[in-house]
Structure 1
Amino acid sequence: MKKKTLSIKNLRFEFKSKTFYRYVFSYLLVFLIPFLFVSFVWYQTSTSSINQQIDLSAKNQLLQARTTLRDNFSQFDLITTQMRYNSLLTEKMATHPYYSSQTTKEIQAYKINSSVIEDMYLHFNDAPDKLFSSKGYLDVSTFIERRYDNFLIDEQALRGALATTVPVIQSVQQLDKDNALGLMFYIVPLTTEEGVIYGSVVYTMKMSDIQRWLDQKTAKVFLLDAKNRLVAASTEEKMPAFMNHPAELKQVLSQETVRSGKDKYRVSVVRDEDFDLTYLALTNSNSALSDVKAVQQGLLGIVLILLASGIAIVFFIGKRQYKPIQELEKLMEQQIGNATSDEESYDIHNIGSQVANFLQENKELHQEIRRQTPHAREQVLRKLLMGRFKDSKEISVLMQAVDVNLYKAGYFVMLVDTRMVTTETSIQNQEFLMSFLDEISGVDYQAYGSEMLSTQAIALLVSFEKGGQPSLIAKEIVAKIVLENVVAPAVGIGGIVHELSMINHSYIEGLAALEYQTLSGSSHKILLYKDIKHSNKNDFGGYPVDEQLKLRQSLQQGDLEIATETINEMVEKGVHEQQTLAGLKLYSYYLLNSISTTGIEIIGKNFYQEAEKIADFSNIFELQKGLLKMSEQICQAVQDNPKNEESQLQKDIFTYLNTHYASRDFSLESVAEEFEVSVSYLSRFIKKESGVTFSKYIQNLRLEKIKSDLVETDTPIKDIIAAAGYYDVSNYTRKFKSIVGMTPGQYREKNR
């Protein structure tokens, strides 16, 4: 089949790829969702802010109108108070043939104190039918029929108001206009010093003056009395119908918005408790927002332009971002070949699947973390110490993922020997020791432990703050172990490193220090790797024992990098320190023996032949090349050997358990010896993987074997029990009954 080719010209405007469409669609979602959300929030916020400004402006103007009206009413009250002390303003003087003219002049004098007073009238209870004004006196009926004949005044209501004991406000409608307010009465009682009411003062005001106080450019303002009846209005044009219905008005006062016909009004209310009045402002939202809407329309146009520009940019970026996918497609085609006719070769899902499969081999840790979530930290620490991780960013992510928090000043590894536990303490104490060292901290350090399978030791990754000293930290940790566990273990400490990616150097040095204590019979319970060179150096022929042990441990751990580094250092040291040719020759054989011995332990006796091949070297540098080659073989063998990999170890251990559980010599210690792990580790490992203890797991295996043989064979019961690994048949018969609820014989009869 001819391979499909794409030219640059075809790619320039080709938009047929599903992957490209997905890219563009995803970018559009990323752009449009926040863009539309922000636009919506902006619109709602701006509208809400404008409405708040409208309400605030209306309320402020209502407060101003209330203050103006209250000041005028207060002035009327003051005038009324002054009148009661004026001897010329009494009923006797007002009706006197001579002094009545003086009364009229006094009223005129009070009237001019306020520009809003249209006229003022005195009424005395002793002359109930008369009203005295600045123009003389007149009867109440004349007042209604002649003086204000163009207004609809209820005489009975007026007479009732004249007898008031508190100030009263009344509005009067014009006769020639329906529901038109033309006049306002403010009636204030006249009292003596003893509080006895002897009359009242009627202040008349034109509605035009009141409207001037209430007028607003953007709102209609109304003045209501205690019963929600209309007293005054800023304008009588297009007055909402509900203004003449107190019951409806009561509901309107409790709302934020109200509709009247096609218009929608915002409601603002201010109350005057002193005069028992209510100020109501109705703001037409459409007219109030007309200027703002013009601005919003302009902004909306800008938003649409931004939207169009954003979509264009999305397409541009999508096309740019799609280019790496094209390169990845080409790379995957080279790896797996062309897609078949039934496949979409440019499908991002197929690419992702292939990349995932391709990278899966390098993601073993992530798979183990998902499978072994409770023990992820131990897995990460173990692999970090063994030098499996070299990327600092990856290490940082993994440390954070398993909740490992370390100080940044420096790091070192502390190896705690657990072999002493087998002889000096119980398995429970050994398990307690691992649990105790799982995480331990002090004032200036933080440490996390992991039990290493092949070394029978607990490795502590210790981080410390600036100024921390490994020896002092180790002594503090050992003191805590002794306090909790009585026995003081041997401890080997590696050198300090400042990058976690180099921590395996410290780990191998710690192993070397621990091994040195065993080889030398050192009485030191705590030994730093750097102190080995100062400890009994002559006992080992003057050769660098510290580096020889470090080399041995690096080979046993399969760390070629550290092994290579150590070999080069030892060769360089031999060249500089050995003064004679014979000494250098002996030193060279010392190096060859160190590596060949370790190689034979790991690979087998066949490795001796590799050592023989390079034994006939002419100089130490020729030997160096051979040693590096031998080290590479040893490290490769260690890495290929799965016995220390927990996933393989799990299979091997449970296969062994399922095969040998019936052996009478079968025990936790024998299994630990078989797999070269500590008893405590094996106990915890089996419980972690199976959910039950070692003894319970073996008991279940033997029980199922006995049940199966009871049903499927005619073998005597005592032979079946003995074949399952139990010595005391009668004792197990009682145990079988306690577990199953019947004897082995009854079980055989029931299930056959």
Structure 2
Amino acid sequence: MRGYVKKYCTGLLFRYFVSYLLIFLVPFVILVGALYHSTVLSQEKQLEASNVNNLRQTDTLISERFSELDKMAEQVKLNPKLTNYMLKHPYYNIESRTELGNIQSNSSFISEMFLYYNTDELFYSHNGTYTKEALVENRFRDKGLTLKALDNNLKLKLPTLTLSPSREGSRGMVQYYVPLFSGGIQNGSAFFLINKQELQKVLNNTTADYEGVAYLVDKENRVVVSSAESKEVFVENGEITPLLRGGSRINIEGMDYTVSSLKMGVEGFRLVTILETEQFMYPLKAAKKLFGIVSVIIFSVGLVMSYIMSLKQYQPIKKIDAAFQKIASKEEPLDDHGEWLSLENRVNNFVQEHQSMNKALDEKQSYVRGYFLTKLLEGKYKTTDILNDKMDELSVEMAGSNYFVMLLGTQDEIAEKDKVKQRTVLLEHFPMEIESARIDAVEMPDRDQLVLVVTDEKVITNHRQYVLSLQRVLNQELYTKTVLDIGECYSELIYLNRSYIEAISAYNAHRESRKEDLFFFKNIIYSAPKFFSIPNALKSKLKQGIAEGDEVVSMETVKTIFSNSELRSMTSNEKKYYYFDTIKAVIDSIDQLEKEDLLSSFQTIVEYDTPDALEKELLELVNQVCQEVNRAKEEKTNKLESDIIIYINDNYRSHDLSLENMALIFNFSISYLSRFVKEQTGVTFSRYVQELRLEEIKRRLVETDDTIKEIVVQTGYYDVSNYTRKFKSIVGVTPGQYRSEYKK
């Protein structure tokens, strides 16, 4: 029986039926109201008591809304994105204003929110920044707000609601000021503009059962807002003072009204209702019989017509619902509120799933491309066949005729702790399309570098001019002056890691002076050969290849050194010095890596018999060193990735846990950390933390006697009531019900 009632009495057909029935029964309701006026209308004291009760309920509702604003101000004070430093910062003020707008959008009770800090005397909102004069003279010129009144309000030590004087017949602006304290000292205020329409909705509930008007008035009896703006007959010059002086009963134009008043919890304000004393008519005994006949006829006609019209209205909705059930990914159960909400849920779920799928595909494609480029730069793909197979496997396209690498830096002088934030901001601009070129940004996990991979379908004839044109666009798009270290340009993608090694070599040669904003690998100075030593460019490329663990580039560089055409014209002593300079370059690289244990064959290398034997020994040594470097890099990367997950598991209860703070700790960009956590856990960072906290809350609900508020707050949440609703939506029961059920 209960299931039957739930199915049919909450169904869409039933709702249509009731709606049309109400429309047809208006004459019937009017007749009932006329005949039974005496039984509906209570005595005057009961009316007044009911009015006062309604006023108390309205006062409670309004006070709760202002308490929400107090909590909002407290959250703003604790939000690191909304400090005056962040709001004024040239890079982060957009993010801070967006955060301010997100907080404001959580409350329909306010039309606008401003933050004011004493240190800079500026007002911040999601729409922009204002001085006091601009706010008063431009923003609220016609709202009656004066500079003196604004200064006085900003000095208030307690949350205060105030009304600015009205102008040109319009009512003043309702403002709510909440002082912000830090260390016992007031450092600013949160300034809210109250939405009068929301206040009016609350006041409408006060007079919902009666004919009349409800007013919210200040301590000077000025009307802040009324439930019915058309009832201006009760208001004189924006005040209702004459009515309040007349006592609880007044007569206006021959009509009797009852006046009720209640002081509110909000200091200096009160609620006033003015209701018609005679609101219902007394029944006419002579019309009782007629009323019965008319009532039956109207009810019967209304019942039949309502069913017919509701059935016609319901049929197309039912067809739409059936269609969505066929294409929905899962069957939606009948909602407690009926078919209409179930249909709405199906439509919303369908749209959300479609959006989520597109977003997931975009994120996956971005992650896969970043992963592929990282491995390509590290030289993991040894042959063209392996590279092509990997591109087919990952569905990555790198169509182009020219490929090269640039290391991106800026000339901005910023603190070390802000470099991660800067790198995160820069990453948001990529990938970037510049004419026929595509630029991908790759953040190398073991380096504090932002690597730009340039792919162009056109043949690059003048590398320097080409990079200069790219730099001009980058400076415009990134809003900063860039510094680029550039490797050589190659026509085959397999050689991109060589360009990366060359870019690092250019960076190492360039970083001491940093006088130029462009530095090419070719710019490395070739000093005049002294005793026929190997060229600086080859030496730098050899050392950097070994440092990166790229055995292909390193071994190719060794072979290039030994195939030098100048060797044929050298004397035996000059060749000996040339070979010993090569040995020294390799040994210096090993020494910088602190891998001296790999020099066990040093004696054999130094006492070589022939150049071919020396080349073979050096190639074997270089290969061995690169393998050791790669092993060490892999261990370091694995440890760092393990440390990230361990850090989350150890700190998920902290209120300060966020991707932003972790980015500063581990020196990674926020986007990289977000992708990494999702790769390791299978879910997003916020979802992973939420699951950890949920399991901890469930455990403590069962195993401890701590209050629900203590458990929720100590597990990382501030808003207990909001999390209670979230807990129920996830688990199906409230925390209290969960404790009662499982603690048994």
TM range (shorter): 0.3 to 0.5
User: What TM-score comes out, normalization by structure 1 length?
Assistant: 0.40
Larger Rg: 1
The higher-RCO structure (CA 8 Å, 6+ apart) is: 2
User: What TM-score comes out, normalization by structure 2 length?
Assistant: 0.41
